Structure 1
Amino acid sequence: MTHAELVFVPSPGMGHLVSMIEMAKLLINRDPRLSITVLVMKLPFDSDVDSYTNSLATSMAAARIRFVHLPREDTEVEISSGNFIEHVIESNKPHVKRIVAELARSSASLTRRLMGFVLDMFCTTMIDLADELGVPSYVFFTLSTAFLGLMLHLQLLQDEHRVDITEFKDSASELDFPSFTNPLPAKVLPTLVLVKDAVRMFLEHARRMRATKGIVGGDDVMEWLDEQPPSSVVFLCFGSRGSFGEDQVKEIACALERSGHRFLWSLRLPPQDGENCYLRDYEDSTEAIGAFVSHCGWNSTLGSIWFGVAMAAWPLYAEQQFNAFELVVELGLAAEIKMDYRRDLGMESAVVTADEIEAGIRKLMEEAGGEMRRKVKEASEKSRKALVEGGSSCMCLGRLIEDILNNTA
């Protein structure tokens, strides 16, 4: 059988890599004619990528998903800089070009034919490489559809109406966006669009996406959880980059104790000077004694909705403030703790008080059977129906595969 070969280019970082590989699994499981090569870029400080990809080598999908690890690139750009990821991706382009050229030459064989690129939303400059080879590009958008609408609308505001997006920084105004029913407060715009050094590339990604072919959008702990009454545990987790200093940890601990609810807390130390972005566990975790709160990263949000768990929103960085607004105001699936909290690109919010944290937890936990939980259960049911045969997600995946295979015409 001749396989239609796709080149997947995830953005560096586990959050983007994992979701893209799950997409690759869906594609090859759906159609035996597809095979996928994943080009793995590595951050200077990322130590988990190799072990993760190696763990997949023994899976049933290994024969049709292969990983090519690109050389780890050192960079002098500060990690806190708004263009750090951009620099890492650009430094990997020569490696990507070389490997894909080899794939294109070998695609003349009877077993594989290069059919296109599937690019992470931050890898849109790779479209040029696909164009050189005469194959189409698709963008795998790892954030919400509403956020895609935000990106495209902000790009139009600047390009067609000459609006300086960064002027919304510290603004109390509310903005109308096509992807939302409610006005969006400027305070929940992503930090990336409010900083001049970062907004240029953000809007360039939006421009480039318009030119693509399409946009695709521990055991002991589990044993303890199984012993708890239904909907009684508050879970706090702030993602792979979520950490707090000692002052903020004390406020969280105080709020959890005063709330009186059982909790499970993923507690991480912030990186120390010279440690780049490594996060470590606190040595003394005795403060971690009970609740559930989310940083509103999109992977975590989808997981919460899938399992029908309401959230208390405490965003930290990237587009998470925007996600929090969507969950709290637009969809009514979450309670607010601090929707405009920021700690990226040099911005640092004040410590969130125990009173604010406790209020969010109580609103979430003491509303059992109420409107918020009802809406989350409905959203969970809809998300599961979307994946079954005939569901919207299942049908869209089929249309994507047919579009890819039709590129042979």
Structure 2
Amino acid sequence: MKQTVVLFAGAGVGHVTPMTELAYVFLKHGYDVTMVLLEPPFKSTDSGASFIERIAASNPSISFHVLPPLPAPDFAASGKHPFLLMLQLARDYNAPLEAFLRSIPRERLHSLVLDMFCVHAMDVGTAVGVPVYTFFASGASCLSVLTQFPALVAGRQSGLKDLGDTPLDFLGVPPMPASHLIRELLEHPEDEMCKAMTNIWKRNTETMGVLVNTFEALESRAVQSLRDPLCVPGRILPPVYCVGPLVSKGTAKDDSKAERNECLAWLDAQPDRSVVFLCFGSKGTLSADQLKEMAVGLERSGQRFLWSVRTPAGTKDPKKYFEVRPEADLDALLPEGFLERTKDRGLVVKSWAPQVDVLQHPATGAFVTHCGWNSTLEAVVAGVPMLCWPLEAEQKMNKVFMTEDMGVAVELEGYRTGFIKAGELEAKLRLVIEAEEGRQLRARVAARREEAQAALEEGGSSRAAFVQFLLDVENLAHGKELGN
């Protein structure tokens, strides 16, 4: 009888995507996989039923279970931060999740794996008596910093915002400017958002183990720090299993030419390693002024480019966060005549480009990125050097790891002021594509690519870590029963 692994992904494309890749690792090892999803609280073309249906349709070997929808919170009336309301809504799903888990015979349940933002569901796993693990969709360096964070702020009478760029020392990572932590963590320790987030990071390492989307060679210092008794004084952390890079294979290798995106055909006509790809993730947007400044820098640089442009957000309405912005009006957003003047060496796409396929294309030579972890791993796996332009969440932390520890990127320094000047973009693009420093950077990224491939091969570190995880779950099953 096949055992079933239940993956609780919550919501958010950036979290569902790597968890879907994790599902395939379980499938390869002979397990059935059910991914539990929540209906996002707002319908749009990028969320709600269409998003869930799209994921399910493109992954027929995985079972998907959508929990019965609960009433969405009234974001406008509550006055609370939307993230806090989303956390509360997710906690309210504990009862439907428990009912679903109890519908599966206990002897068939292998484990419950929770997304990093769904750790409140740990109590459900304990009640049902199933081993519970965390899936941390970011890297080990980020996990190490966030695991050490609660002890750093314990007893502090003021927020870390006062520290500005003062470097903070954490085990396993380079010195981290205080300002580069996740913005909400800089608030007063008693601030509701700060407390909620600090609690999430604490609970991430209170499960029976953490599956991390990384490979040991990429972040060896950080991985070792999570095994160090000094990481969280007075606490033994659970095992950390580096099972990545969990990256989509892309669609470029499919036989179906009909579905191939037009930008890939454009890349076919460009010389190897000559094109700069600029893309800022599913949520990253830049101001209209910044887009115009980028265009000037791109034009002056003389480099070939493929640029994914999205309509500026223009609103802080939390409801809008879940909605897809209209397709970009390029004539209004870009300098007059820019598209005409650069048509022989540049292509601008409105809103979306098949990122994995673009990064794996031989013509792609550099990647201007917001430093989201999925994007970072996709570039490492493709062997493409990066220019860091972090925007939000943990991206400034990732920038530190990528430039100082991993050696796979250079930074666009203007991110610190929130505005990248045309002159810096022009100079950095030339550096990465044409200069000796760029050649050395490419060599380092190529070495990381080899390490990533080795980690996933038979006998590789990530394969071995996953096998160890399965063994540990089996040992638990043969030890004492959990829960009741």
TM-score (norm 2): 0.74
Distance change in 2, residues 1:57/1:124 (3 Å): closer
User: SS of the residue aligned with 1:400?
Assistant: helix
Aligned amino acid, residue 320 of structure 2? N
Structure 1 segment 145-160 matched on structure 2, within 5 A? 145-159=140-154
CA offsets, 1:72-100, max 9 Å, x none? Answer: 64233369x98423422421434342243
Select which of 327, 333, 339 maps to 1:281. Answer: 327
The offset of 1:337, in angstroms, is: 0.8
Q: Using the TM superposition, give the Cα deviation of residue 119 of structure 1 relative to its aligned residue in structure 2, in angstroms.
A: 0.8
Name 1:172's counterpart in structure 2: 165
Q: Structure 2 stretches of 5 or more lacking a match? A: 213-259, 347-365, 479-484
1:169, 1:187 within 8 Å by CA — same for their partners in 2? no
Output the CA distance in 2 between the equivalents of 1:102 and 1:268: 39
Q: How many residues align?
A: 392
- Cα gap change, 1:398 to 1:230, in 2 (>3 Å): same
State how 1:178-189 maps to structure 2 within 5 Å.
178-180=171-173, 182-189=174-181
Q: Which residue pairs with 2:290 in the alignment?
A: 248
SS in 2 for 1:241: coil
Give 2:426's match in structure 1, choosing from 336, 343, 358.
Answer: 358
- One of 383, 391, 395 as aligned partner of 1:308: 383
Query: Residue 293 of structure 1: CA displacement?
Result: 0.8
Could you tell me which amino acid in structure 2 is paired with residue 131 of structure 1? T
8 Å contact from structure 2 (residues 160, 178) kept in 1: no
Read off the aligned partner of 1:118 and give its amino acid letter: V
Does the 8 A contact of 2:75 with 2:82 survive in 1? yes
Counterpart in 1 of 2:444? 375
Any conservation in 2 of the 1:177–1:183 contact (CA below 8 Å)?
Answer: yes
Are the counterparts in 2 of residues 188 and 339 from structure 1 also a CA contact under 8 Å? no
CA distance in 2, matches of 1:370, 1:105: 56
1:201: which partner in 2? Answer: 196
Which letter does structure 1 place at the counterpart of 2:96? R
The letter for the 2-side match of 1:127 is M
Tell me what 1:344 maps to: none
Pick 1 or 2: higher relative contact order, CA cutoff 8 A, min separation 6. 2
Counterpart in the other structure of 2:280: 238
SS in 2 for 1:203: helix
Task: Give the letter aligned to residue 280 of structure 1.
Answer: P
Provide the secondary structure at the position in 2 that maps to 1:230. coil
- Alpha-carbon shift at residue 189 of structure 1 (Å): 2.0
After the TM superposition, which of the residue ranges 274-283 and 319-328 deviates more from structure 2?
274-283
Which amino acid is 1:189 matched to?
L
Cα distance between partner residues in 2 of 1:340 and 1:189: 14
CA deviation map 1:122-158 (0-9, x unaligned): 1111112222222221110011100001001111222
Q: Which residue in 1 is equivalent to 2:33?
A: 35
Percent identical pairs in the alignment equals 31
- 1:188–1:102: structure 2 CA closer, same or farther, 3 Å change rule? closer
- Displacement of 1:248 in angstroms is 0.7
Deviation at residue 372 of structure 1 after TM alignment: 0.9
**Match in the other structure for 2:472:** 403
SS at match of 1:6: strand
Residues 242 and 118 (structure 1), Cα distance of their counterparts in 2 relative to 1, 3 Å cut:
same
Higher mean alpha-carbon deviation, 284-293 vs 247-256, is at 284-293
Amino acid across the alignment from 1:176: D
Judged with a 3 Å threshold, the aligned counterparts in structure 2 of structure 1 residues 61 and 27 are, in CA distance, closer, same or farther, namely: farther
Contact 1:4 1:405 in 2 (8 A): no
Deviation of 1:242 after TM superposition, in Å, equals 1.1
Measure how far apart 1:363 and its partner are. 2.1
C-alpha change, 1:355 and 1:165, in structure 2 (3 Å) is: farther
Partners of 2:269 and 2:291 in 1: CA distance:
27
Amino acid at match of 1:77: F
The equivalent position to 2:411 in structure 1, one of 329, 332, 336, is: 336
- Residues 334-377 of structure 1 deviation map (CA, whole Å, 9 limit, x = unaligned): 11113754xxxxxxx54322122223222222236622111100
Structure 1 runs not aligned, ≥5 long:
342-348
Change (3 A) 1:367 1:149: same
1:327 is the counterpart of 2:435: no
Larger displacement relative to structure 2 (245-254 or 198-207): 198-207
Report how far residue 58 of structure 1 moved.
Answer: 5.3
Shift of 1:193: 1.2
Distance 1:392 1:214 in 2: 17
Q: Tell me, what secondary structure is at the counterpart of 1:248? A: helix
Indicate the larger mover: 324-333 or 377-386: 324-333
Contact 1:7-1:39 at 8 Å conserved across structures: no
Which whole-Å CA distance do the structure 2 matches of 1:303 and 1:168 have between them?
32
**Aligned Cα RMSD in Å?**
2.6
Structure 1 residue aligned with 2:116: 121
- State the 1:25 CA deviation: 1.6
User: What is the DSSP-based 3-state SS (H/G/I as helix, E as strand, rest coil) of the residue aligned with 1:280?
Assistant: coil
Q: Distance in 2 between the 1:76 and 1:299 partners?
A: 31
Structure 1 residue aligned with 2:88: 90
Q: Which residue of 1 aligns with 2:265?
A: 223
TM-score, normalised by the number of residues in structure 1: 0.87
